[in-house]
Structure 1
Amino acid sequence: MNPPFDMTETGVREQQLADTIARLAESEALHRAIVATSLDCLIIVDGDGRVVDFNPAAERLFGYSRAEALGREIGALIVPEKYRAAHYAGMARYISTGVTSVIGKRVELEAMTRDGAMVPVELALADVSVGDTRFFTAHIRDLSAAKSAQLEIERQRESLYQKEKLAALGSLLSGVAHELNNPLSIVLGQAMMLREMIGRQANAFAGGQDFTDRAIRIETAANRCARVVKTFLAMARQRKAERNYVSIAKVVADAAELLSYSLKTSDVMVEIELEKGLPETFADADLIHQVLVNLIVNARQALEEKGGADRRIWLSATHERGNDAIVVHIRDNGGGIPSSIRNRIFDPFFTTKPQDHGTGIGLAVSRGLIEAHGGTLDLAIPQPDTGAEFVIRLPIAGKNGADIETVDNVSSHNAPVVRAQAHVLVVDDEPDLAELIAEIAGGLGYRTTVATSGHAAQRLISASELPIAAILCDIRMPDGDGPGLYDWLSANRPELMSRIGFVTGDTLGPSAGRFLARTGCPVIEKPFAPDDIARVLDTLIT
């Protein structure tokens, strides 16, 4: 006889089963909520590599809906083609041997979206097999924003590094310029005076014209050296140079013409396309010319390294009306610039040329000069099968040219003076340079006296009974400098404070710059021409 059926026990078991089912449902709901709300992509695949779960974050990143992804083979779905062979080999090795280089670790790699785009991601792959049923969970984090931020930090770090190197370069140039400008001033001034002297006596002796020609060559070479020094100073100062309204089209054509012989001997063809009616811009034509020459020379050298029969440089200038700018393109069909160094080519002293073929400052100087004009110099994004392309943008003169001050703001339209009655005191610790300035001033009709230091000038001024009409003084001198003499005048001869001008090669130095800004005294930068002396003396003597 069977025992009686216990309804109470059955009810308890049914309740326990119901509770278990409810807990499982809650657990499933919790799991689904965690997966659905995860900010990282969660993809679950089976032992065959087919997707069994695909959360909303994965949908957003990869562009597939969950329904589209389920059942798809993960390698074909998001693994870039170049990595698939390694992916399949690695999974097969893990399943057969348990050896892995990925599972249980965080690795950075690329994944592929639905439209074929490559996305940088961080992958954490876990084995979540249940019994004999194998599953893998991939936690994928999109690194696009982090990589962009990292690149921006690196860009800013490189920019700061470049500025620091330029600051160091500027400090170096200050001393170099001062040492070069004094002898350059002597060479240039003496060459000019020699040319004028020979010109006045050309008929007095044989070979006069030959001497004149030689003096002109010396003067030309000295002027060339002076332009180099002034170019470096303009870049290091990061301030505006002497400017006029300039036709960029003409500057481009002149640069190409200057290099035409060297380009021809290198078998380089140059094609120039200049938009008609280009507006003028307010710029220093010589500095823009130097930038263009530097970029064209770089292009020619790149083409020489490439070799081959077809070597071409394209120069163009257009009016970018949307930005109210003139845009100049310098492009070649050389080997281009490798992506690994594209963000370093404007760094001072960075160069890929042999040690005796480049200093690595040409592009840094060029960018500094263009930025000093309110413009930009950039390397264009490379196009397939092309070489390097540089793009210069300069603001149109009509937009802000009227607001731009020039370096030399000394007036040259003062009333004529009786020069024979004016006494000029020249103060410079370089005797040859002081005598040269005095000789130039004497040739203009002024009477002159020379002092070789600031303290010597103070003694002369205190003892002299002659009325001093103007003082031309160097800034840096060992025995009493220019600022010291100015302060002495303020205390002892205040009427002469408006009669002093400074002849210097050190306006780049911070102390000299602050002093000149504070006093507002006129400045002649070495190396100078006789006209510079005449202009400032006319300004000081009224």
Structure 2
Amino acid sequence: MNGPLRVLLLEDNPADAELNERSLRKAGIDFESRRVEHEADFVATLETFRPDLVLADYHLPDFDGGRALALVRARDPELPFIFVSGAMGEDLAVAALHQGASDYLLKDRLSRLPAAVTRALADAEQKANLRNSEQSLRASEECYRMATQSMHDAFILMDDEGRVIEWNPAAERMFGYTREEILGRNLHETLVPQRFRGAYRHAWPRFRQTGEGEAIGRTLELVALRRDGQEFPIELSLSSMDVNGHRQAVGLIRDIGERKRLEADLEGYRQHLEQVVAQRTAELVEARDQAEAATRAKSAFLANMSHEIRTPINAIVGLTYLLRKRLTDPQSIAQLAKVGEASQHLLCIINDILDLSKIEAEQLSLEEIPFVLAEVVDHTLGILGERALAKGLTIERDIDSAVPAAVRGDPLRLGQILLNFIGNAIKFAERGRVQVRIRVAEDQGETLLLRLEVEDQGIGLTADQQARLFEAFAQADDSTTRRFGGTGLGLIICRRLANLMGGGVGVTSIPGQGSTFWSTARLTRVAVPEAAPACAGMGPGAEPPELILARDYRGMRLLLAEDDPVNQEVACEILSGLGLVVDLVATGHEAVERALAREYALVLMDVQMPEMDGLEATRRIRAQPGHAHLPILAMTANAFAEDRQRCLDAGMDDHIGKPVEPEQLYAVLLRWLPRPAAPGLADVTAPAAQSDEVTLRQTLDGIAGIDLEVGLRYARGKLTSYVRFLTLFAQGHADDLVALRRHLAIGALDEAQRLAHALKGAAATLGALAVCLRAQELETALGARAPRADIEARIAALDADLAPLLVTLARFRHAPPPTVPVPCEPDQVREPLA
């Protein structure tokens, strides 16, 4: 009970009412009370006060306690009602108890009141609980009845003898027996087919004793019998319960005939589908195999085309390089330079076609390596700087401070996009500037979406031209091709590459005012790689690989496996020119035999050769004892990434693509050749071979722009060392003027200033005082950010002193060394090329 006990006092004497309350209070009963003495007040207070207990006098002015009891019982049969009267005979008291009074006591025995109240309240609570239980039971029985009556499954209740004692309407519909017909009949004699009845009879004694059985607590699929004798499949769920010490079995039965028919139909359909799927799978496998075969054929075709195209270009590039080294006529050298440029341009077009083919075939994969973004930009600007300068264009570079210095991605493909965008900007602009901008478009912590923009002040594009600009084989219009040239492949390749890098491309343009091409790429932050130490102009690190090889590696023996006669001639002459001894073979078999028969410092292995290719030859060489660490380098026209990987997988150490760039070849050779135990066999420069030291001194003293005494102090008085330093100076600074103009064109004034500083120091050391002075003046102008015209004048003045000196020193580099010839040694004599 929540709160104080609500007590209604039916008493016409206030003093007696106070005694009743005092008795309850003395017993520690918490209560609140209302006192009434008339019938109307009594009825009203029952409704408003809602008492928990009524204490009533029997004799009242206008009605008696019997009437009050009747009023209470009409409203609440369990409300505790106690008579507390001054004069109430035994007959009257018994009658009151029969009428429903909870108790009675005389007013002179109020000490019994608390106990009577407690007992009356407890009795009332017990009656209320019993009433609630009965109501719940009736509700449960009604729910049970309604549930069994409305079930779609048959509900059967059986006693421990197997007789049916409950049967719902669903069971009537399922089996054909009415409830009246089946009650009391044995289950196994009515619903079980004849052939199964013995098993049922055998199971019931165990169930009767233990409540257990094979079917108890399980769901089984069985066969049942209808009243008309028809058998049909059922699903039976059987459970056991104990009712007053007697076992009863509850069965839920579902007719699964329709389900079985559907399952049979589905099984038939499944088997049919399996046959169809098997047939279709076979067709798909065949189609897949054909597609894979076509893809392999396409890949093989592309690789073969790459090989077949690059092989003659290799001859053009290589022979042009060799001729330029031999010739001294400026016109011939310039013409050969144009041949080299044309071959490189042709190679770029071929690379574009092959790239697009690889992209279309979904066979182009990207590298994921760390690189410095600014280096990629500067390298691209360095390639195109001369072109911009020739057209009077200024290239500006703007990399936002939020762009990380180092990222992870594919620097080659990113540079390819930049090269195309900037190259187009230079091609289509006749004036002004080209601005290269790099911004962070999205920053997701480790991952960045970078936006590259190239803005020009060129001819611009119409909206229609912009809409189809990135379509395959498209240009703005035919007049564009006639006026500016181009294949239309570059931008579609840029779009595909950007897509592969998780970005896109686009353009905004105004005709006649210029265009802004943009591309995005998703890259990953990495720690800034440790910078390589700067190379001083005359320090050992500044020596070109070609000079190091010619000086320190002369006489080392290499094996060259190459089947193409032109490539043989080019490679042999390049290598022999370094003083390396070259053994030549034309097949993989010959390469294996030679490598096992003789010790070589390094093997250059073509991949596609007759009889046995270079991959198999490498595997066989590696399989022999003592050849696990022999450097084997692939030198092949197969230039795809997977070609390189196949070479590495076969056991090769590195990959040199054709056409072979001599500088690249020198660098790779220097990386893999074993370090020599002693200096080269002919560490003597050409003029030093002269026996007359006086003649050599006179020759050196006659070089304009050189103070011999200053230079000899650096060389400690040794003429041969001084000549070698002059040769290194000429080699190391031959391209300084081109580099200075390129830096100026792209606005890299700091780089130009560092280059001028290095040239100044090297010239001062060797006594080239005029060059030193001009370099110092240029360094000062660059540091002060002098006007561009002033800087260009300083470069021209430097050119006037440096160019003649380099031409003079070139005679020392090109003169034949007085050493024993180091021939290329083929296995068999070949007819010389016409």
Which protein, 1 or 2, shows the higher relative CO under an 8 Å CA cutoff with sep ≥ 6? 1
Report the TM-score when normalising by structure 2: 0.34
So what's the TM-score if we normalise by structure 1?
0.49
| Structure whose CA Rg is larger | 2
